[in-house]
Amino acid sequence: MIRNVLSIAGSDPSGGAGIQADLKTFAARGVYGMAAITALTAQNTQGVSGVEAVSPGFVEDQIEAIFEDIRVDAVKIGMIANAGIARAVAGVLSAHPTVPIVLDPVMVAKGGSALLAPDAVEALTTRLLPLATMLTPNLPEAAALLGEPVAADRAGMSAQATRLRAFGPASVLIKGGHLEGEGSPDVLATMDGLEWFEAERIATPNTHGTGCTLSSAIAAELAKGANAREAVRAAKAYIAGAIAAADQLSVGSGHGPVHHFHALWQA
């Protein structure tokens, strides 16, 4: 049976991040993708020039319409934009406690633009984190959620992953791409303890949408029945291939997208 996965996220008209990246990832990972849009952005590979948030009520209407008619095997949450949307999303999803939820706390775009209102952090941590099967912050996002300095080493990452689990998510994957050094290690915190996932750092400017893509790949694997470790392992292998093949694409003059269909398209 082909699984159905819902993305609740913002739109990226350049196609590299947001729901566009999520839907491409779902297709590449063999699941049927759906999307409820939380915000429209004006952006390209060089940055974000505008954001228009969807009203919380209409975000709620979109999600409810899906659940009323379609079996949802997993949910990926990306850009939330503001506190009202965070509360609306939490309100709907709390009625479906058995559906795996991957929460990627999109707070700042690759070019530095803020994608989450300051007042939304509290709503995110108190309403959405307790619902999450897996939280997938990068180092700055993990620090912002905790109100702490950005972790500078593996010990700091481990400690912050453990502290974030105290907010309620079943597991926390902190991504170490911002660490100095040749590697790009991620740490997964679950009820069973900590596990590290190693990856080589690939030299390319084309990394737009990596966070969206990784979290969507994890959601796809959870929908197919994988546990947290299996889902992260498969998703990490997929994103590594997508980044390695990113230079095959020619999209924009800034941070280009990863190659979501690297295993399916011929260069």
Residue 207 annotated among the catalytic residues of the structure: yes
What HEC string does 208-238 produce? ECHHHHHHHHHHHHHHCCCCHHHHHHHHHHH
CA-CA distance, 45 to 205, in Å (whole number)? 10
Query: End-to-end CA distance of the chain, in Å?
Result: 31
Residue 252 annotated among the catalytic residues of the structure: no
Among the listed residues 24, 110, 175, 236, the single catalytic one is 175
Residue 211 annotated among the catalytic residues of the structure: yes
CA-CA distance, 192 to 71, in Å (whole number)? 30
Among the listed residues 24, 209, 224, 236, the single catalytic one is 209
**H helices within 147-259, ranges in order?**
154-165, 210-223, 228-244
CA-CA distance, 43 to 25, in Å (whole number)? 20
CA-CA distance, 213 to 77, in Å (whole number)? 12
Among the listed residues 25, 41, 136, 207, the single catalytic one is 207
Among the listed residues 41, 211, 213, 236, the single catalytic one is 211
Among the listed residues 16, 110, 212, 256, the single catalytic one is 212
Residue 210 annotated among the catalytic residues of the structure: yes
Please compute, for residue 267, the number of CA atoms within 13 A of its CA located in the half-sphere on the CB side. Answer: 11
Among the listed residues 38, 41, 45, 210, the single catalytic one is 210
Residue 212 annotated among the catalytic residues of the structure: yes
Give catalytic residue positions. 175, 207, 209-212
